[in-house]
Amino acid sequence: MVKLNQLIERLCDADVDFVIVGGFAGVLHGSTLVTRDLEVCTVLSSENIAKLRDTFRDLQPKHRFTTQKFSFLDNPEPGVALNNLYLETDLGPVDLLGTIKGVGEFEAVRAASIEVELFGRRCRVLSVDGLIRAKQAMGRDKDLIAVKELRAIQEAHAKP
């Protein structure tokens, strides 16, 4: 069962500095497009990876795109540099991304985000403008459909 809200709660409670991006961010801005995973941008430093391992320890985190489904708790070894992590957990899939195409690395993504309250916690979500840039840069059919909807949401909010 996918429980993305609980993944967000855990990341907030672990004091991981992250920005919600992707489909879930779109939903938070009013998109009707369904998503079944959580995508966040964060710095994948050794310190953050240790926090993430502690945060997800009881959720059986496994690397989603490896045929062997290696445990995230054991792989990669500490100190190995990572750009992205694609994990499957007992609460659902979570993608931890170091950069967002069309926006940039974590600091640029954070600068293009807004703070919101979710599930009793404060966290950051990529702005509609940032989402549009990211989805345009991805260029996939599903992303371009999302761009149209996000632009409509943006226009609706701009009207007095």
3-state secondary structure 60-96: CCEECCCCCCCECCCCCCCCCCCCEEEEEECCEEEEE
Task: Give CA angle at 20 (17, 21), nearest 5°.
Answer: 130
Residue 134, SS3 per DSSP: helix
- Of how many residues is the chain composed? 160
* Domain covering 4-153, topology: Beta Polymerase; domain 2 (3.30.460)
- pTM of this structure: 0.94
Q: CA-to-CA distance for 133 and 112, rounded, in angstroms?
A: 10
Residue 16, SS3 per DSSP: coil
Segments of the chain with pLDDT less than 50: none
Name the residue ranges covered by the structural domains of the chain.
4-153
pLDDT in tens, 81-128: 789 999 999 999 999 999 999 999 999 999 999 999 999 999 999 999
